[in-house]
């Protein structure tokens, strides 16, 4: 998210983002192996197993929209292509202040 605009945020906005624990998508338990594999890659570079892929894409999209983060053309195409396989997965967005 840093390269998508978060680097320009104020310290207060970064703190709000880091502490958004009341939103279910904000904190997901994953294995250390999964966390290392993903690192700071976007959905074009890394995706989780099929079982959770639709949720991951929806959550990624919601975070980008909520925090008004940029989405590059390759990222947008990847998200659009992936969303086709997830027709019943809602993207719940509440805009952050």
E strand intervals along 1-97: none
Reported as a single tens digit per residue, the pLDDT across 10-47 is: 999 999 988 887 777 776 667 787 767 777 778 888 88
Query: Rounded to whole angstroms, how far apart are CA atoms 34 and 15?
Result: 25
Q: What is the model's pTM?
A: 0.84
Query: Rounded to whole angstroms, how far apart are CA atoms 45 and 50?
Result: 15
Rounded to the nearest integer, the mean pLDDT of the chain is 87
Please state the domain extents for the chain.
2-83
What tokens were used for 97? 């202040």
Long-range contacts of 13-20 (CB under 8 A, 24+ apart): 13/96, 16/96, 16/97, 17/67, 17/96, 20/96
Residue 57 has pLDDT above 80, yes or no: yes
């Amino acid at each position: 998210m840093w390269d998508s605009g978060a680097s320009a945020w104020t310290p207060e906005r970064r703190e709000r983002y880091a502490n958004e624990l009341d939103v279910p998508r904000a904190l997901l338990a994953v294995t250390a192996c999964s966390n290392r594999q993903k690192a700071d890659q976007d959905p074009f570079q890394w995706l989780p197993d099929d079982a959770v892929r639709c949720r991951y894409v929806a959550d990624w999209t919601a975070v980008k929209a909520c925090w008004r983060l940029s989405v590059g053309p390759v990222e947008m195409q990847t998200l659009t292509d992936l969303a086709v396989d997830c027709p019943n997965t809602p993207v719940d967005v509440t805009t952050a202040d």
